Structure 1
């Protein structure tokens, strides 16, 4: 592996990958030396140097392909902070319009162009996840909405996704690193695996109550072995007011969490005097389903694949000035794009 930034095709040729590596995701160092860039940016460096144009001063702008919530700015800036560039950008969490300029970079393209791939990918993915989280949070309103999407992504990027979800509006995240990167405590109780291993939901609930710290919410899955309403009542009768809530995560093979199921569980708990027991729902949630279930008195939502599988917000980097002269490819307007929301950050 190279220990310096890739400057030319010879560096690329000499860059070796350890065939014994356990994970195939890029390390921080590999990203920072340009190993995740597209090869044509290395070819660009070769040509600019050969033509003695490597110090050409440019202005580059990054703009969006759709409206949504901007995320990933902080990581993009971290890639540029060691470069001799000036950067203007919007803040993380800013709501942006289609075609809006979110970042402007001034400097030598030969210096920062190698990071175009990484910057665009970082902004595109993070903004897509943040936008999906915003849609879910808007549907949930004042009701807590947590991101449970880490299991749907490669572990190298799952924390990035969950951090972006919190930027977009999620109230918390289950991934330990993702939550901590966003300054939050990880959220979640126990998986079906524990209940299946112990063999009884009530035993799990009692063990959880006995072993877990007082600030850990007593919210227990009730769809593993028995009818959800029956299991909910069984837990409530045993734990009484120590039970904060139950979680419905009924498998898709059994129809998932339906409005009818939520109505029945809520009614049976209320009729038995357990109106204080909250209902938390997860599994295949979308903004539309959240709105429907919210009307039935659901007290919290765990969203996974809708956020983790969100379409990236396409980002494009264009050169808008060369040596102080306005320029652009056909179809684009030459010169800097006016956006008063941009602030100097580097």
Structure 2
């Protein structure tokens, strides 16, 4: 709960009381509602004795809109962390602010503190922001879209990775809708109850950025995680998808089950330029324009990555795709997979992770953008390529001013 001294200018007693009321309604623990890879990441960091101070930046992509859900997001971070005790800070825009009037990615929150205090909380606070700003989702539309996704995927397993897009109270319901549609699993324990199992997930960008190395994060995962958890390395953080995939495969060798590509929309995947003239039979003009080449996870980018792995002797390393995989994108990728298999005898990709089950909703995103240098007493840039720190002077601090104020 909020401590009595956690009041500063800009955070009045009324807001403190509202947040206290919200916290009384929150579950005792956040962990069941958290994407599994964040739970595993904190376990790795704790076992490794590594707890650097980091800065998260939160934004909601899109045009001008009214920000809602930020009070609940603040309540979640305060309740489930010890930021106040550790000297951390929550910066936020007030509830009801009009955002993205100048930039489509205006920061709505900045979180600063020890990574072990924050890394497990992203799913819930993003869900609060997304749900508050978007409003209640249409569950019938989600049901229809989930069915379209499974139908488009054909025989490819699909995992539901959308917990952060919706309020935590809906996670179990939406996960069950996805199970009934034919999804193979989900990322949270509360959602995985629909499958009588547990959430799945391995490495997030946050763990890679904590160690500032795709390879080091994969090694730590391999060192500390139980053998039954598949070793699937995330390889797009630094926009070196091919280089980092080959490096991890060369070091982990047979221990590596697969790699996941999740290239963000700000970047073009490494190697896709070699396949600009790639022609996929039966791909429509619209599909070519949207999915063959460009930014994010593209067919040409995945094709280049798969070819590089195969040519280096890593044909058995599976390739998992995520990032914006709605039904139409999946359908295009499945066509490419069929052609790749015809050409080379291997799958282009093995499975899909997606949360794109609610067309029209806005989604919040959180990225690590800096790490604190204790020796020099300054924040140093540490971010996914294309997602650097953007100062926002309109943000107000929640706790009393700290020694690690924005630099």
TM-score (normalised: structure 2) = 0.45
Bigger Cα displacement from structure 2, 242-251 vs 154-163: 154-163
Task: Report what 2:321 is aligned to.
Answer: 281
Partners of 1:141 and 1:310 in 2: CA distance: 24
1:301 and 2:301 matched = no
Aligned to 2:163: 150
Match of 1:263 among 275, 278, 303: 303
Shift of the alpha carbon at 1:127? 3.6
Q: CA deviation at 1:151?
A: 0.6
Shift, 1:158, TM fit: 2.3
Alignment partners' CA distance in 1, 2:230 and 2:312? 22
- Please say which structure displays the higher CA radius of gyration: 1
1:23 Cα deviation (Å)?
5.0
- Contact 1:221–1:248 (CA<8 Å) still a contact in 2? yes
Q: 8 Å contact 2:142–2:357 — kept in the other structure?
A: yes
Q: Summarize the alignment of residues 1-346 of structure 1 with structure 2, pairs less than 5 Å apart.
A: 20-22=20-22, 125-254=138-267, 255-294=295-334, 295-296=336-337, 297-304=348-355, 306-309=356-359
Local SS of the residue matching 2:266: helix
Is 1:130–1:166's contact at 8 Å kept on the other side of the alignment?
Answer: no
Question: Structure 1 residues 182, 128: CA separation in 2 closer, same or farther (over 3 Å shift)?
Answer: farther
SS at match of 1:185: coil
Aligned residues of 1:132 and 1:168 also touching (Cα < 8 A): no
* CA positional deviation for 1:187: 1.4
Distance 1:25 1:127 in 2: 27
1:215 Cα deviation from its structure 2 partner: 1.4
TM-fit CA distance, 1:308: 4.1
In the superposition, the TM-score normalised over structure 1's length comes to: 0.53
What is the CA deviation profile of residues 213-271 of structure 1, one whole-angstrom value per residue up to 9, with x for unaligned ones?
11111111100124101111111111112111110100101110011101100001000
What is the rounded CA distance, in whole Å, between the counterparts of 1:170 and 1:133 in structure 2? 8
Q: Which residue of 1 aligns with 2:372?
A: none
Structure 1 contact 162–175 (Cα < 8 Å) conserved:
no
3-state secondary structure, aligned to 1:220: strand
Contact 1:150 1:308 in 2 (8 A): no
C-alpha contact 1:222 1:231 (8 A) present in aligned 2? yes
